[in-house]
Amino acid sequence: MEKPGLIVAPLTPFTADLGVDEPALRRQIDYVVTDCGATMVVAAGVETQEYTYLGLEQRKALIRATIEAVDGRVPVMVGISHPSFKTAVALAHEAERLGAAAVQLLAPLRPFAGAPTQSDLLAYFVAVARETGLPITLYLNPGPGADVSIADTIALAKLPRVQLIKESSRDLARVSRLIVEIDRAGHARYFTTMQMLLATLELGGSGATMPPPGSEIARHVIDAFVAKDYERAASLQLQFALFPSKWMHRGLAPVMKAAMNLIGVPAGDPYPPYAPLSRDETAALAAYLRTTVLAHRFPATAAA
Amino acid sequence: MEKPGLIVAPLTPFTADLGVDEPALRRQIDYVVTDCGATMVVAAGVETQEYTYLGLEQRKALIRATIEAVDGRVPVMVGISHPSFKTAVALAHEAERLGAAAVQLLAPLRPFAGAPTQSDLLAYFVAVARETGLPITLYLNPGPGADVSIADTIALAKLPRVQLIKESSRDLARVSRLIVEIDRAGHARYFTTMQMLLATLELGGSGATMPPPGSEIARHVIDAFVAKDYERAASLQLQFALFPSKWMHRGLAPVMKAAMNLIGVPAGDPYPPYAPLSRDETAALAAYLRTTVLAHRFPATAAA
Amino acid sequence: MEKPGLIVAPLTPFTADLGVDEPALRRQIDYVVTDCGATMVVAAGVETQEYTYLGLEQRKALIRATIEAVDGRVPVMVGISHPSFKTAVALAHEAERLGAAAVQLLAPLRPFAGAPTQSDLLAYFVAVARETGLPITLYLNPGPGADVSIADTIALAKLPRVQLIKESSRDLARVSRLIVEIDRAGHARYFTTMQMLLATLELGGSGATMPPPGSEIARHVIDAFVAKDYERAASLQLQFALFPSKWMHRGLAPVMKAAMNLIGVPAGDPYPPYAPLSRDETAALAAYLRTTVLAHRFPATAAA
Amino acid sequence: MEKPGLIVAPLTPFTADLGVDEPALRRQIDYVVTDCGATMVVAAGVETQEYTYLGLEQRKALIRATIEAVDGRVPVMVGISHPSFKTAVALAHEAERLGAAAVQLLAPLRPFAGAPTQSDLLAYFVAVARETGLPITLYLNPGPGADVSIADTIALAKLPRVQLIKESSRDLARVSRLIVEIDRAGHARYFTTMQMLLATLELGGSGATMPPPGSEIARHVIDAFVAKDYERAASLQLQFALFPSKWMHRGLAPVMKAAMNLIGVPAGDPYPPYAPLSRDETAALAAYLRTTVLAHRFPATAAA
């Protein structure tokens, strides 16, 4: 078994005029690489990174800033998702140029109603795969992207260039089956989410991708799992039962940004119009995080 | 009662290298304005126009080309939908500069999971409305956009700048209620779709928006309705029972492009990877369209 | 064209100990037959009739009481829906014995997860059809029953014994297509709901089924339509835009029972634990109904 | 920590004329109690037991036959789910009379459209709880029952009489949170499904409920977990990745009945119109089960 993967997607801090706050990003990436032990960093790959607000040039700048900040310490995977395969290809070329290790590509919605067929999905991934030598991560996230069936996911995973899968589903029946039929079958490495991390590892999946600071909790889950201290792994996994779930009506980006601000690695506010957590929500979040492995990041004297 | 509105969204013809085929677009807009009697033309506003594949500059070029081709014959409404309110504002400013009559703005998904709240939606529309003097069309299209409840739709419709609504739902219970609570209540004019046209007019809604050549059928529905020839209106509305429904598993853009190609106003193929209709599907579509008011556009001697 | 059908499903009034209040039922059926001009009455056929609370013997008693109260004035259709085709057959035999004109059978959910396939659905309807000489109404109501696709609905409609369809969907795109492919194609008569009534008639559907007192409004819609007074038909149809929609968070049975109580044809309260409308909700409903064709049933001097 | 619970719901074998095959049921219950180590047996409680086809007297007979066959070896939980709280109460009284240890009650759909509110759900459970001294299992199964939110589930779990929860969801984010907020918070013991078993135990949930022969696999998962042999537990849990998932398009009852027939504990065919697995499907299922801990039940000489 390869060592479990912890793929981390830094949050995007914005300046007052809604540009990317590069110093804050660098500070965060140091945290992600050093404190969270990320095995790979994602640049502008998942929606929680709020990259969809950015124009193409701003998006490339965010990718570049991410790669520069990581500075070769770990591999970087570049998000190239776009409704147009041509733009995805252009972003893949930019990723190659910048020395990325892989690209991540969302299984897209059909823009004009109805679900994409398996042949639509294959055609789209083949069109991109044809133009890049980088490994492709198939990114599954119904909502922003298509709701891809088990059969269609397996078909996509069998494309030679598709070497990783980022699965957003929390459906353990689906995930169990796909770990067996994709990861253990040798088609692609299968990564899930915070809430699924320990179950994924136990079933033979490859790890998870997530934003910080969930990634610091995850690091401990993985360390315990690798050390075969399964009871500690389970007890750490349990920290994801309430976090971020209890605050998710606000959305994942606002909750994670609030958590980062609390632990002293500022990530700023969500891109408008989405509001940051209220004072009461923030206080409740702080009280909860103090019961987790993140507690050590809080000042010793502050009240919960 | 104002005359019913027929808002038409031209399909985007692409060249071999996937640029916009401007001559074909101009030809189509002549058809839309002259033959369909559009009361307003939409530039890059709905997903069926395949604008989501375009970069921002290409998108502006499509908007410009549309406005130039319409050439003042009817008002133009410019699509400004973007996850970032700032980009939407920039597009609104471009629309103003080009002399557009209105802008159309999709109620956006929350990019990072969960449904937007009413206050999220209001904040987004207010942020745009503050920056433009143009009337805003609230565009509702769950999937690419958010699934907005009846209560939230009414709240948005009460914003002074929101003067039109483009509703994609075919749920007549929802639409009936919103026509009464929004259009007849004086908050905004309410436009629906092909399949809903006659029902919308009868209940006091303002019309429908759609791509060609559905718009040519719609023109006749509206003419019959205005002439109080309700039996003819119903018999024409019935032409939308099978078209485009029977081919919708292929998606609306491919079906409408196939129909345009059949009636001699070429719109090209769908943007890849989506496939055009097969030969058999095209033949079946042609046979059907020959039973509609579009029959006169087919060469007299061709076999069905 | 046959005269449009108005199939009415009386609400079930309960006594204090939750038996069927037969005198109140008889009073209501007189209203349904005489005042609403029902062309057919449904006995224990739709969930709004709250028959699912009843044991089999109570359900048969309700069927019998309904048929006796109708007393041959119009045909009666008996609900025979049950997960077991054998119980459905037993109810069909009871319906025959009691002189029913037809039976109504819900397309059932698969009890143990997953959607029924077309062959599951066909097998179920064939199993019942084989055992009864009565015409069968295919009843489509996703939730209590299966969500049947367009293709599967057409396949079921082609069974010779399936002669009517009761469609609960408010999706006018679906309904338009099925009216053409089923009713106008001669496979079965297609009936919809209050909100869909006028659109259904105009497209060539056969009518609608609903509970009272919606049926009294519907009677006027149908009369106007038959008289070719389409403007009046539309203006009456509009009365269904807010009623029952504005109160539907309480459920259809509570709203309709409240309306019946208001117009002086008592239908009692919903079966527990569902609550009747609150005093404020009832007052708002009364105020609305006084603006409809039901106004004449309110005492002249009462305040709205 | 209490020993994990394995609540087993025997499949219902039917005779040729669709009565309950009591000898086959007894044989199966011996398997469930002796070989699977069930800590509790469910009588007519979940839809996979196909009890919804039965009339009330047949249902009571099935309950009685189950309790007699268990014969006091383990406690029995009796399904009392019914749209009417009065029938649920009557079944609870029967359960008491027969010496049941608990009753299981589905959170019901609102029969007449729309989701039940929290107060609807509380009123229903309170109405039943008032009339029985037995512990109540809150049974959550969207589809046949309501889709109950996290907040509403917690509210129901706080009712004193609600002492267990049977959760059908495979959403590990939901389940993680509810284990913490319900089971670890002391409100009720939380049981999930086959696919969720190990994850549930690790997070501090109480076990799972399922039909045989999944229960024999589950027994080994639980034994390994209790012995703190977590690697073996995970490797056994993995046997649920493909079984029953790969055959679930046929539904859970047909798959499980086929599996039982294969391992020599006949459970007959599904109740019509649902078809048993085809010969090919059965062969594939047999080949798979021979790779699991169920292999020892297959005759040594038979080919896979």
> pLDDT > 90: what percent of chain C?
95
Give the per-residue pLDDT at B2. Answer: 73
Q: Does residue A243 belong to the interface with chain D, where contact is any CB pair within 8 Å?
A: no
Q: Does residue A198 belong to the interface with chain D, where contact is any CB pair within 8 Å?
A: yes
> Which residues on B lie below 8 Å from C228 (Cβ)?
230-231
Sign of CA dihedral C200, C202, C205, C208: positive
Contact assignment for D112 to C275 by CB distance below 8 Å: no
Query: Among D31, D51, D124, D139, which one carries the catalytic annotation?
Result: D139
Contact assignment for C173 to B195 by CB distance below 8 Å: yes
SS3 for C42? strand
> Which residues on B lie below 8 Å from A275 (Cβ)?
119-120, 123
How many CA atoms lie within 13 Å of A286's alpha carbon, on the beta-carbon side?
17
Q: Which amino acid is at D151?
A: A
Smallest Cα distance from A67 to chain D, Å: 32
Q: Is D66 a residue whose pLDDT tops 70?
A: yes
- What 8-state DSSP symbol labels residue A94? H
Give the per-residue pLDDT at A197. Answer: 98
**Binned average pLDDT, 10 residues per bin, chain B of 304 residues:** 90 97 98 98 98 97 98 98 97 98 97 90 98 98 96 98 98 98 98 98 98 98 98 98 96 97 98 96 98 93 50
Task: For an interface test with C, give the residue of D60, D112, D121, D249 to mutate (most C CBs within 10 A).
Answer: D112
Other CB atoms within a 10 A radius of the CB of residue D188 amount to: 26
Contact assignment for D143 to C109 by CB distance below 8 Å: yes
Contact assignment for B53 to A112 by CB distance below 8 Å: no
> Which residues on D lie below 8 Å from C60 (Cβ)?
none
> Which residues on D lie below 8 Å from A224 (Cβ)?
none
Alpha carbon distance, N-terminus to C-terminus of chain C: 41
Which one of A179, A202, A240 has the shortest CB-CB distance to D176? A240
Q: How far, in Å, are A125, A153, C97 from residue A141 at the CA level?
A: 15, 12, 56
Name the β-bridge partners of A291. none
Other CB atoms within a 10 A radius of the CB of residue D34 amount to: 10
Sign of CA dihedral A228, A230, A233, A235: negative
Question: How large is the average pLDDT for residues D23-48?
Answer: 98
d(CA C204, CA C188): 12
Contact assignment for A171 to D171 by CB distance below 8 Å: yes
Neighbours, chain D (3 or more CB pairs < 8 A): A, C
Q: Are D282 and D262 contacting, i.e. CB atoms less than 8 angstroms apart?
A: yes
Question: How large is the average pLDDT for residues C287-301?
Answer: 92
Which one of B199, B237, B241 has the shortest CB-CB distance to C177? B241
Q: Does residue D3 belong to the interface with chain A, where contact is any CB pair within 8 Å?
A: no
Q: Is D301 a residue whose pLDDT tops 70?
A: no
- What 8-state DSSP symbol labels residue B302? S
Contact assignment for A176 to D241 by CB distance below 8 Å: yes
> Which residues on B lie below 8 Å from C195 (Cβ)?
172-173, 176
User: For C229-267, how does the pLDDT look when each residue is reduced to its tens digit (9 = 90+)?
Assistant: 999 999 999 999 999 999 999 999 999 999 999 999 999
Q: Which amino acid is at C186?
A: G
Contact assignment for A112 to B47 by CB distance below 8 Å: yes
Question: How large is the average pLDDT for residues C22-44?
Answer: 98
Looking at the predicted complex, does its ipTM rise above 0.90? yes
Question: How large is the average pLDDT for residues D271-282?
Answer: 96
> pLDDT > 90: what percent of chain D?
95
Q: Does residue A238 belong to the interface with chain D, where contact is any CB pair within 8 Å?
A: yes
Q: Are D44 and D75 contacting, i.e. CB atoms less than 8 angstroms apart?
A: no
Q: Does residue B56 belong to the interface with chain A, where contact is any CB pair within 8 Å?
A: yes
Q: Is D300 a residue whose pLDDT tops 90?
A: no
d(CA A9, CA A211): 5
Give the per-residue pLDDT at A2. Answer: 72
> Which residues on C lie below 8 Å from B241 (Cβ)?
176-177, 179-180, 203
Smallest Cα distance from B295 to chain A, Å: 26
Give the per-residue pLDDT at D304. Answer: 43
Give the per-residue pLDDT at B304. Answer: 43
Tokens in use for A169?
A: 């589903």
SS3 for C40? strand
Tokens in use for D32?
A: 């469930």
Q: Is A92 a residue whose pLDDT tops 50?
A: yes
Q: Does residue D228 belong to the interface with chain A, where contact is any CB pair within 8 Å?
A: yes
Residue of C nearest to B181 (CA): C242
Question: How large is the average pLDDT for residues A10-21?
Answer: 97
Q: Does residue D35 belong to the interface with chain A, where contact is any CB pair within 8 Å?
A: no
Smallest Cα distance from D301 to chain C, Å: 34
- What 8-state DSSP symbol labels residue A271? S
- Say how many CB pairs under 8 Å bridge A and B: 106
**Cis check: omega of the bond before C273, within 30 degrees of 0:** yes
Q: Does residue A271 belong to the interface with chain B, where contact is any CB pair within 8 Å?
A: yes
Q: Is D302 a residue whose pLDDT tops 60?
A: no
Give the per-residue pLDDT at A301. Answer: 59
Q: Are C179 and B241 contacting, i.e. CB atoms less than 8 angstroms apart?
A: yes
- Say how many CB pairs under 8 Å bridge A and D: 78
Residue D82 or D111, more confident: D82
Q: Chain C 92-121, CB below 8 Å of chain D: which residues? A: 109-114, 119-120
Q: Does residue B75 belong to the interface with chain A, where contact is any CB pair within 8 Å?
A: no
Q: Does residue B1 belong to the interface with chain C, where contact is any CB pair within 8 Å?
A: no
Tokens in use for D280?
A: 């090919």
> Which residues on B lie below 8 Å from C203 (Cβ)?
234, 237-238, 241
Interhelix angle A85-97/A118-129, rounded to 10 degrees, is 30
> Which residues on D lie below 8 Å from C249 (Cβ)?
114
Give the per-residue pLDDT at C304. Answer: 43
Residue with tokens 């492919």: C181
- Averaged confidence pLDDT in chain D: 96
Catalytic, A228? Answer: no
Residue of B nearest to A11 (CA): B112
d(CA C42, CA C210): 9
Task: For an interface test with D, give the residue of A167, A172, A221, A248 to mutate (most D CBs within 10 A).
Answer: A172
Residue of D nearest to A151 (CA): D246
Q: Does residue C290 belong to the interface with chain B, where contact is any CB pair within 8 Å?
A: no
Residue of A nearest to B274 (CA): A120
Residues of B serving a catalytic function are 139, 166
Q: Is D29 a residue whose pLDDT tops 80?
A: yes
> Which residues on A lie below 8 Å from D204 (Cβ)?
238
Question: How large is the average pLDDT for residues A190-215?
Answer: 98
Catalytic, C166? Answer: yes
Query: CA nearest D62: which of D46, D38, D43?
Result: D43
Q: Does residue D150 belong to the interface with chain C, where contact is any CB pair within 8 Å?
A: no
Give the per-residue pLDDT at A304. Answer: 43
Q: Are D46 and D14 contacting, i.e. CB atoms less than 8 angstroms apart?
A: no
Neighbours, chain B (3 or more CB pairs < 8 A): A, C
- What 8-state DSSP symbol labels residue B271? S
Smallest Cα distance from D237 to chain C, Å: 22
Which one of A179, A180, A199 has the shortest CB-CB distance to D199? A199
Query: CA nearest D38: which of D233, D213, D270?
Result: D213
Query: Among A31, A51, A124, A139, which one carries the catalytic annotation?
Result: A139
**Cis check: omega of the bond before A244, within 30 degrees of 0:** yes
d(CA C228, CA A184): 68
Question: How large is the average pLDDT for residues D226-246?
Answer: 98
Query: CA nearest B266: which of B189, B302, B213?
Result: B213
Residue with tokens 């190239």: A80
- Averaged confidence pLDDT in chain C: 96
Smallest Cα distance from C93 to chain D, Å: 16
> Which residues on C lie below 8 Å from B196 (Cβ)?
172
Give the per-residue pLDDT at D112. Answer: 84
Contact assignment for D112 to C87 by CB distance below 8 Å: no
Confidence class for position C299, pLDDT limits 50, 70, 90: confident
Question: How large is the average pLDDT for residues A3-32?
Answer: 97
Contact assignment for A171 to D173 by CB distance below 8 Å: no
Q: Are B203 and B179 contacting, i.e. CB atoms less than 8 angstroms apart?
A: yes
